[in-house]
Structure 1
Amino acid sequence: MSDRYGDIFSGHPHTARRTVPRVDADPDLVVEDAASGFCGAVVGFDRSYDGDFVKLEDARGAVRLFALREAAFLIDGEPVTLVRPRTPAAARPTRSASGSTRVEGLRAKVAAPSRIWVEGVHDAALVERVWGHDLRVEGVVVEHLEGLDNLAARLTDFGPGPGKKVGVLVDHLVTGSKETQLTTGLGEYVLVTGHPYIDVWQAVKPAVLGIPEWPRVPRGEDWKTGVCRRLGWGTPQEGWRRVYSAVNSFRDLEAPLLGAVERLIDFVTEPGGPF
C-alpha cells in the first residue's frame, strides 16, 4: 500500500540541517564572534593543545583569541565556519610584518656601512621580528650595545661619517633621564630615537598578551622580574617567550616604538648627509 502522506519528517524545520559555509580567515577579513559579539579583523593565528585559534583586532586596537569552531562566527549576520587558509605559493602575503611591500625572491644583500644599534637582545629580536624583511632588502644590520653605557666607546671605534651613519634606538628616552643625557651631542651622522617605556616589553600592546595593562613596578625593583611576579609569568626568561611569541606584526606594537624605528631606517638608508 502506498504511503499517501510520504515522509512526514522530511523538510521539517526541526530536522532539516542547514549547511554553514566554510570561509578562509584571510588577513583583514572582518567577522563577529557569535557568542560574545566581539567584532574585528583577522590579524593572525595561534595554536595550542586545544586546537587552532584566530586573532581578531577591533576598531580600538584590542586583540582577542577565538577558537576556530564550527559556525562560531558571523559575516553580515550569517553564521560561517572560519578555517585557517592554506596559502599557495602564488598567493603569498604582499605585505611584510611592518606593513611594507614584500619583496619576493629576496637574496642576501651585502651589508651597508650604516648601522642601527639597540640597547639589548630583546630590542634586537623585536626589531627583527617586525622589520627584518625591510632591513634585509636595504642591507641594514641591527646590532645590540649590551647597555647604553657602551655607546660612546662604540661610536669612537665605528667612526660615523658620510655614508656611514648610526641610528640608535633607546628605551626610556624621556626628558631628564639618564638615557637622554647619554645620547645628546653625538654629531650629525648619529640619530637617536626612542620610546618612553621603561623596557621594550612595554612597547608591546597589553591586549595581545591578554592583560589589561602592564603592572607598575616600584623604582629600585628589577622591572622584568617584578612584571613576571605580578602577572604569574614565572622567570623573566619565561616572560620573554610570552612577549616575543605575541608579536606578529606592527599592529602588536605601540606607536612610539613604530615611529622611532621607522625614522632610524629612513635615516640610515638615506644616502649622503645627515637626516
Structure 2
Amino acid sequence: MLSADPHRVGPAAVRPQSAPLRVSRGLVVEDRQTGFVGAVVAVEKSGGQHLVVLEDRHGTRRAFPLGPGFWVEGRPVLLEPPAPARRRPTGPRSASGRRLTASGSYAVEGEETGAAKVARASRIWVEGRHDAELVEKVWGDDLRHEGVVVLLLEGVDNLARVMAEFAPSPTRRAGVLVDHLVAGSKESRIAQEVAAMPGGNNILVLGHPYVDVWQAVRPERLGLRAWPQVPHGTDIKHGTLEALGWPHDSQADVAHAWKRILGRVHSYKDLEPSLLGRMEELIDFVTAPGTR
C-alpha cells in the first residue's frame, strides 16, 4: 500500500511520490529498506504475490515483493508486473514445420512473455555466472515455460550449506549442475556428501567433465581444434586466454572473452553432449510428476 511506502517520510511538502513503473529485465533497482542494488533477472509469483529477483554485481540474487519501496535512477518508484506480450518463436523449425527452442524442444506458440509465472518450489543451481548465462541462452525458454528458477551457488564449496537451507523434500527437489564432476575430484566428494544428507534423495547433483563450462562449448565454434590444456594450478580462464593469445591480464579481459565465446552459441548444437544430457536430466528431475 502507498500509505506504507518507506519513501514517504518527512514533511508533506518534500515527500517524493512513487511513480508506477513496469518491471523489465535488466532494470537496475535499489531496495530502499535494505540498500540492496541489482538488475532485474526474473519476476515470479509465489504465495499469491509477485516477486522481483535482483542480481547485484557480485552475482548475489535476492527476491523482493513488487510494489513501493524501490528507487530507480535516484527516484522512488512503485514497481508493477511487466506487461504481458505474446511470444513469437523465432528459432529453427522441425521437419514438420514447428518452431524449436534453442534446446531443440518444441516452442510453445503464443505463450506470453514478460508475465509472471508461478515459480516452482523445486529449483536448479549452477556454480557461477557463466554457467547461468549459458543455461539461459540454450534452455531459457524451456525453464520459463516450466517455471523453474536457476540460482547461483557461487562455488561448489557452498553446496552443502545451500542444500541444508533449501531443505529439499519429495515435492521440493533440487537439481545441481557442477563443473569437473569426475571420479576422485573435490566436486565428486562434495556430491557424495550431499547425497548422504537428510533429504539427499531429493537432490540430484550432475556435472560435466570439464574444469570450466567454457570447455562445454564445441571448440570448432571458435575456430579451434580443441580447447588448450591448462597446467594444473593455473587459473583455467586466464590460462586458456593466454594459450589462445587473447588478452588475459584482467577480469575485463575474461568478461570480454566470455562474451565472445557465448556469442558463438546459438543452440544445443553448439554444446558438447556431456553437458546437454546432464542439463536435460536436471530439468526432468525438478519437473517430475508430484513435484511442485
TM-score (norm 2): 0.61
Does residue 1:119 correspond to 2:124, yes or no?
Answer: no
Does residue 1:250 correspond to 2:268, yes or no?
Answer: yes
Distance 2:221 2:107 in 1: 24
RMSD of the alignment, in Å?
Answer: 1.6
Structure 1 stretches of 4+ with a deviation exceeding 4 A read 89-93
8 A Cα contact 2:89 2:109, kept in partner: no
Deviation at 1:91, TM superposition (A): 8.0
In structure 2, which of residues 90, 105, 118 is the aligned counterpart of residue 110 of structure 1? 118
Distance 1:250 1:141 in 2: 20
For the structure 1 residues 195 and 238, does the alpha-carbon distance in structure 2 shift closer, same or farther, using more than 3 Å as the test? same
Does residue 1:96 correspond to 2:101, yes or no?
Answer: yes
In structure 2, which of residues 222, 244, 250 is the aligned counterpart of residue 209 of structure 1? 222
Deviation at 1:272, TM superposition (A): 2.7
For the structure 1 residues 217 and 109, does the alpha-carbon distance in structure 2 shift closer, same or farther, using more than 3 Å as the test? same
For the structure 1 residues 266 and 145, does the alpha-carbon distance in structure 2 shift closer, same or farther, using more than 3 Å as the test? same
Q: Secondary structure at the match of 2:119?
A: coil
Distance 1:214 1:189 in 2: 35
In structure 2, which of residues 165, 173, 190 is the aligned counterpart of residue 165 of structure 1? 173
Gapped runs of 5+ residues in structure 2?
1-87, 93-98, 248-252
Distance 2:201 2:190 in 1: 16
Distance 2:224 2:91 in 1: 32
Larger Rg: 1
Distance 2:224 2:274 in 1: 20
Q: Secondary structure at the match of 1:183?
A: helix
Distance 1:99 1:131 in 2: 9
Distance 2:155 2:287 in 1: 24
Could you tell me which residue of structure 2 aligns to residue 191 of structure 1? 204
For the structure 1 residues 231 and 137, does the alpha-carbon distance in structure 2 shift closer, same or farther, using more than 3 Å as the test? same
Could you tell me which residue of structure 2 aligns to residue 230 of structure 1? 243
Q: Which amino acid aligns with 2:104?
A: G
Does residue 1:128 correspond to 2:148, yes or no?
Answer: no
Q: Secondary structure at the match of 1:175?
A: coil
Deviation at 1:92, TM superposition (A): 6.6
In structure 1, which of residues 248, 261, 265 is the aligned counterpart of residue 279 of structure 2? 261
In structure 1, which of residues 152, 165, 171 is the aligned counterpart of residue 160 of structure 2? 152
Deviation larger for 89-98 or 111-120: 89-98
Distance 2:279 2:90 in 1: 29
Distance 1:249 1:101 in 2: 13
Q: Secondary structure at the match of 1:163?
A: coil
Distance 1:266 1:228 in 2: 35
Distance 2:272 2:111 in 1: 28
TM-score (norm 1): 0.65
Distance 1:259 1:90 in 2: 24
Gapped runs of 5+ residues in structure 1?
1-88
Could you tell me which residue of structure 1 aligns to residue 148 of structure 2? 140
Deviation at 1:243, TM superposition (A): 1.1
- Aligned identity (percent) is 56
